[in-house]
Amino acid sequence: MSSDNGVPSDNAYEALSEGGDDVRWAYGTGFADPLEGVDTTVPAGTNAADLTAYCLMLGDDALIMSHRLQQCCTDAPELEDEVALANIALDLLGQARLLLSRAAAAEQAANGTGRGPADDSDGDGPQPGEDFYAFFRAEREFRNVRLAELERGDFGELIARLLVFAAWRLAVLRQLTSSRDPVLAAIGAKGVKEVTYHRDYAAQWLIRLGDGTAVSRERAQAGLTAIWPYLPELFTPHEIERRLAAAGVAADPAGLRGEFDDVLAQVLPAATLEVPDVPPRAGVAGRTGRDGVHTEAMGYLLAELQSVARADPEATW
Amino acid sequence: MSGDAVSGEGAGGRSWPLWEVFIRGKRGLNHVHVGSLHAADSEMALRNARDLYTRRNEGVSIWVVPSAAITASSPDEKDPFFAPSGDKVYRHPTFYDIPDNVPHM
């Protein structure tokens, strides 16, 4: 069939494009700004310094987990999964950018100095605030949970980690949708859709690996066991989280364990995997990732993440 | 650490079957063939299609079909298949006035 008489043409991408769009863009358009029309002032009665720290916590979780996923690029078992993991990494990087920018704005409100303008002055691209937080903070200033930073294992470990991370983060983001901070609520609403897919992807794979061959089951179980000691940290509220949760701004991680356990109780039996019986990995004097106390892997990760920006601090991209 | 996590059955393992992907755009009326991919089964094929072919906001619906299930005409049969309809202009309803309110003719 030809397109002579105006029926959809042979060109698949042309047929997918929306009428009236610039034909140079063969793909879908209509991208939405998740923060469009959202009031970005720090809500009354909210401690701006606490809000800064909280946005760094959630932003760092996404940034560091994204980096671990990015490391799988060119190293995934199949091309299809390589793209899938890169997509997930990009989703998380997008969440990190919004959250670190929010941290910059809140810090500005807290002490009037901030780390550079947080507003979107040139329309797009990394902003000084988010760049500063990502590239020029020291390890002790990162507030991500240790689960995100752990040294990369095999595909079984990655999938186990992604399932736990996504199931937990989805519960966090779902609570954030009703946050008193409109920006956090908007970020939560955007993130819920993304992380729902991440959780689905990881659950599908964990079931395939666990209920697959003897080798894949062994590796999936080993991966689950490797990350399990870092699970309790996810549900232990930092005092800042507790304060902001009481103020109706943050999600209280202590209240999320039920939803998380329900998800795992569906996936693990289907995957014929067992809940690992391993003790939690303690922090240093009770301090863990949320306090800036990290595992050995974190220093190496940051060296890779930050080296280019630090070699040329004036660079723009 | 290396990429052998899933293909742990050893070297020479067969790869997953091929699937054809069809996507309906937001304002498209029909599903359009956009490409193919590998997947172990239909559920995985659907997710892989989502990850490979709808990254740029293209689609609202996906079909996946095992490539093996498609019977295709051969280029060798092009003339006997298609040439005979080339001179039968009367098969097109071009001799009628089409009312303005009939779309997609």
Each domain of chain A, given as residue ranges in start order, spans 48-237+244-282+290-311
Q: Do A80 and B34 touch (CB under 8 A)?
A: no
Q: Do A154 and B5 touch (CB under 8 A)?
A: yes
Separation CA A216–CA B8 (nearest Å): 8
How buried is A57 (Cβ within 10 angstroms: 0-12 exposed, 13-18 middle, 19+ buried)?
Answer: buried
The residue of chain A nearest to residue B32, with distances taken between CA atoms, is A12
**CATH of the structural domain B18-91, one choice from 3.10.180.10, 3.10.20.520, 3.10.290.10, 3.10.150.10:** 3.10.20.520
| Per-domain boundaries in chain B | 18-91
Q: What are the DSSP E strand ranges found in A114-206?
A: none
Q: Do B5 and A83 touch (CB under 8 A)?
A: no
Residues sharing a CB contact under 8 Å with residue A279, sequence separation 6 or more, in sequence order: A229
Mean pLDDT (whole number) for A64-71: 96
- The pLDDT assigned to A301 comes to 97
pLDDT at residue A177 greater than cutoff 90? yes
Q: What residues of chain B lie within 8 A of the CB of A33, using their CB?
A: none
ipTM passes above 0.85: no
A23-66 pLDDT, tens digit each: 444 455 566 778 877 888 888 888 999 999 999 999 999 999 99
A102-153 pLDDT, tens digit each: 999 898 888 776 665 444 444 444 457 888 999 999 999 999 999 999 999 9
How close B25 gets to chain A, by Cα (Å)?
5
Q: Which of the residues in chain B have pLDDT under 50? A: 1-12
The residue of chain B nearest to residue A87, with distances taken between CA atoms, is B51
How many CA atoms lie less than 13 Å away from B54 in the CB half-sphere? 18
Least confident of A14-28, A69-83, B65-79: A14-28
Pairs of residues, one from chain A and one from chain B, whose beta carbons lie less than 8 Å apart: 91
Question: Does the global pTM surpass 0.90?
Answer: no
Q: What residues of chain A lie within 8 A of the CB of B26, using their CB?
A: 18, 28, 30
Q: What's the mean pLDDT when you consider all of chain A?
A: 87
CATH 3.30.70.2740 at A48-237+244-282+290-311, yes or no: no
- The pLDDT assigned to B50 comes to 94
Q: Do A87 and B51 touch (CB under 8 A)?
A: yes
The residue of chain A nearest to residue B8, with distances taken between CA atoms, is A215
